[in-house]
C-alpha cells in the first residue's frame, strides 16, 4: 500500500483505477484516502489497539477537506489509545452498509435472486449484526452467527454467501480494510443431498403417465417432457419464447447464468415443432398475455407424479436425472456442465458420485482381461 505525504492537491488529483486502492498518509500513521473505481474518495483511519484492528471511515473527500479529516483521525486515534472506544466519529453501522449493497450491487442479481437474498438478510443476518460497526465485525462474530443457525442449516448455508457479499462490498465502498472479509473460509453445514434421480423404470412410468394426461393438458405435458429431455431449469422452459427456438436449438437470452445455447435432441425438437404458435410465448397462459404460471405447472406435476408412483420427485429432480443419465452414458463432467448451463465446473462435480457404479463395472470387466483369465 502506497504511503506519501498527503496534500489537498494530491487528494484532488488522485485518479481512479479498475480496483479500489488505498493511499496512506506518511505524516499520520493509519490515516489515508481510498479511491474507488467510481471516482469517489473516502478518508479512513486504520489502527490497532490492544491487538484489535480498528477501521473507520472518516468521511467523503468531496465533503470534508484533508485537514479536517486528518484532525478527526488524529483525535480518534488519541481517543483509542486513551481507551475511549466511542471516538469522536460515529461508526458506520452494518445495516447502513447492507442497505447500500442491496441498492447498488443488487442490480447484478436477477429479480427473484434479489428477493430471496433480501429475505435471508432480513430474517437471518440483520437481527444478529444490526447496530454493530461494519468495520468491527470479526471472523469470530461471523462464526458465532453461523453457529447460531445450526437448527436451520439450509438457511445458514444460503445466507452465508449473502453476508459475504455485504462484507466484500463494504471493502469496495471503503468501509472496511481491503482483504478483511470475515466470511472467507467459513465451512458450510453438511447436509444429506436432496438430489433424487429417476430409475429407468420410473422414467418409463412417468412417460406413460404423461401420455394419459397429454390430451387434457398438452402444454403442461410438453413442458415436463422438455425438462426431462433437456435438463433445463423450470424457468428456462416456462418463459421460452418462439424467437429463442431457431436452427434446431434453444438460444436463451436470459438464463440463470446468462445467455446460453441449449442443444436439442430429435425428440425435443419434435415436441416444439408440434406445438401451435399463437403468440410470442411457447407455453402461453390462457386468457392473459404471459406464460403458464408456476402454480399451474406444479399442480399438474403433482397429479402426474402421483399417477406415475413417484410422489417424492420434484420438478428439479428431472434436471438431476438428465445429468445422471448423461454421466452413465459416458459423457464427461465438462460436457455435462455445458449441457446444464453451469458456469462453474465445481457445480457439476456434485454428480461425480453417480459414476462410482460405472467405474466399478469397468473394473470388473477389465479384471479377466488383465488378470489373464480371458
Longest alpha-carbon distance in the chain = 88
What are the average pLDDT values for consecutive 10-residue runs of the chain, which has 374 residues?
81 87 87 86 78 74 89 78 51 89 89 90 94 86 91 90 93 81 83 71 94 94 92 90 92 77 90 92 89 93 94 88 75 69 63 54 56 49
- Cα separation, 170 vs 164, in Å, equals 10
- Residue 343 pLDDT: 64
Residue 42's DSSP bridge partners are 34, 60
Give me 86's grid cell: 466511542
- Residue 366 pLDDT: 54
- Residue 162 pLDDT: 95
- Cα separation, 146 vs 187, in Å, equals 9
- Residue 83 pLDDT: 55
pLDDT digits (tens, 9 = 90+) for 71-114: 888 887 776 655 554 444 567 889 999 999 999 998 888 888 89
pTM (global) more than 0.75: no
- Cα separation, 281 vs 275, in Å, equals 11
- Residue 269 pLDDT: 94
- Cα separation, 39 vs 47, in Å, equals 25
- Residue 73 pLDDT: 84
Q: Please, which residues have CB within 8 angstroms of residue 161's CB and are 6 or more apart in sequence?
A: none
Amino acid at each position: 500500500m502506497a504511503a506519501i505525504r498527503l496534500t489537498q492537491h494530491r487528494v484532488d488529483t488522485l485518479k481512479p483505477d479498475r480496483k479500489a486502492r488505498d493511499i496512506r498518509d506518511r505524516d499520520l500513521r493509519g490515516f489515508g484516502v481510498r479511491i474507488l473505481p467510481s471516482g469517489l474518495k473516502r478518508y479512513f483511519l486504520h489502527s490497532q489497539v490492544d491487538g484489535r484492528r480498528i477501521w473507520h471511515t472518516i468521511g467523503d473527500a468531496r465533503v470534508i477537506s484533508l485537514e479536517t479529516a486528518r484532525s478527526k483521525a488524529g483525535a480518534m486515534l488519541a481517543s483509542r489509545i486513551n481507551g475511549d472506544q466511542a471516538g469522536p466519529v460515529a461508526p458506520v453501522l452494518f445495516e447502513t452498509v447492507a442497505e447500500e449493497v442491496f441498492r447498488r450491487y443488487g442490480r447484478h442479481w436477477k429479480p427473484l435472486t434479489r428477493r430471496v437474498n433480501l429475505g435471508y438478510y432480513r430474517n437471518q443476518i440483520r437481527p444478529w449484526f444490526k447496530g454493530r460497526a461494519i468495520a468491527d465485525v470479526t471472523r469470530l462474530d461471523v462464526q458465532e452467527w453461523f453457529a447460531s443457525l445450526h437448527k436451520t442449516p439450509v438457511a445458514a448455508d444460503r445466507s452465508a454467501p449473502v453476508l459475504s457479499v455485504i462484507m466484500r462490498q463494504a471493502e469496495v465502498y471503503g468501509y472496511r480494510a481491503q482483504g478483511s472479509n470475515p466470511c472467507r473460509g467459513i465451512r458450510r453445514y453438511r447436509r444429506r443431498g436432496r438430489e433424487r434421480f429417476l430409475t429407468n423404470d420410473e422414467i418409463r412410468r412417468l412417460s406413460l403417465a404423461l401420455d394419459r394426461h397429454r390430451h387434457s393438458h398438452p402444454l403442461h405435458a410438453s413442458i415436463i417432457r422438455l425438462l426431462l429431455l433437456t435438463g433445463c431449469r423450470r424457468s428456462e422452459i416456462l418463459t421460452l419464447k418462439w424467437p429463442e427456438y431457431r436452427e434446431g436449438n434453444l438460444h436463451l437470452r436470459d438464463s440463470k447464468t446468462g445467455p446460453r445455447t441449449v442443444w436439442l435432441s430429435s425428440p425435443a425438437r419434435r415436441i416444439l415443432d408440434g406445438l401451435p404458435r399463437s403468440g410470442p410465448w411457447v407455453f402461453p397462459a390462457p386468457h392473459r398475455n404471459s406464460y403458464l404460471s408456476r402454480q399451474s405447472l406444479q399442480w399438474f406435476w403433482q397429479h402426474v407424479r402421483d399417477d406415475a408412483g413417484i410422489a417424492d420427485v420434484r420438478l428439479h429432480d428431472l434436471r438431476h436425472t438428465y445429468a445422471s443419465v448423461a454421466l452413465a452414458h459416458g459423457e464427461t463432467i465438462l460436457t455435462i456442465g455445458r449441457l446444464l448451463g453451469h458456469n462453474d465446473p465445481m457445480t457439476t462435480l456434485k454428480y461425480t458420485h453417480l459414476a462410482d457404479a460405472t467405474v466399478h463395472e469397468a473394473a470388473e470387466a477389465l479384471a479377466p482381461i488383465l488378470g489373464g483369465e480371458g
